[in-house]
Amino acid sequence: MAVEIHQRLSEWLGPLGFQCAPFKIAWYNAIIQLSFHLQYQDDTLAFVILSTPQMFEKAFKPYIADKLLATVRDPIDECVVHYFTLLKKNFSDHRIEAIHDFEMFPNRKPKILAQTAAHVAAAAYYYQMKDVQQNPWGEKMLPDLPSFSGILCLFQIFSTHEDVWSLHSSTLWGLVCNTRSADIPRCPGPST
């Protein structure tokens, strides 16, 4: 079931400049603090959705061309909400909940830790200082910047010529397909 849903999502999202990667809620909850746990069954199927550079041309520009600029406050977020609404209609045979990386609880805590979701889905690799074997930066990475302390998230971007690992300021969104699935294989992600 997970493979079929992933394929359908990829076919729907790909032409819009998005890519998706599946994960189980248990994988996400296993590596974060209890206060950030997603409240779903452990074997619930979820996907991290990433925008690729093509998203700007294929989804954002057509979306913004149809809007009155006076009514748009946050065009990228509103664009993604628009396409997720369409996606949910096209997948009406599944109960889908979207958790956007910009959504917060009233106490300003994020509803999802997007980089962590991308990491467990093997769509990105979340490096921490403990992962750096030999620190080439010393005390500072660049002049006037604090030392590397938290996160360097690398995203795999698929091009027509080769797979390239690059630092990319991709936008991340979570999608919970409230389908329980035992058949999803865990991808190891890139080697460190």
What is the residue whose two structure tokens read 């091009």?
Answer: 159
State the pLDDT at residue 102: 85
* 8 Å CB contact between 189 and 165: no
Q: State residue 26's pLDDT score.
A: 92
The DSSP bridge partners found for residue 125 are 154
C-alpha to C-alpha distance for 132 and 112, rounded to whole angstroms = 26
pLDDT at 146: 44
Residue with token string 């997603």: 38
Helices 75-90 and 2-13: angle between axes, nearest 10 degrees: 130
| pLDDT at site 127 | 67
Per-residue pLDDT of the chain (192 residues; tens, 9 = 90+): 788 888 999 999 999 999 888 888 999 999 999 999 998 888 888 888 888 889 999 999 999 888 766 666 788 888 988 998 999 899 888 888 888 888 899 999 998 888 888 888 888 777 666 666 766 666 555 444 444 444 444 444 433 333 333 333 334 455 665 566 666 767 655 444
Per DSSP, 160 falls in state S
Predicted confidence at residue 76, as pLDDT, reads 86
Q: What is the DSSP letter of 15?
A: G
Burial string for 105-123 (b: 16+ CB within 10 Å, else e) reads eeeeeeebbbbbbbbbbbb
Contact in structure between 151 and 85 (CB atoms under 8 Å): no
pTM of the shown model: 0.75
| Rg of the chain (C-alpha set) | 18
**Do residues 37 and 29 make contact, with C-beta atoms less than 8 angstroms apart?**
yes
Rounded to whole angstroms, the Cα distance separating 94 from 67 reads 29
Q: How many CA atoms lie within 13 A of 190 on its CB side?
A: 18
> Sign of torsion, CA 137 135 165 51?
negative
The whole-number pLDDT of residue 137 equals 60
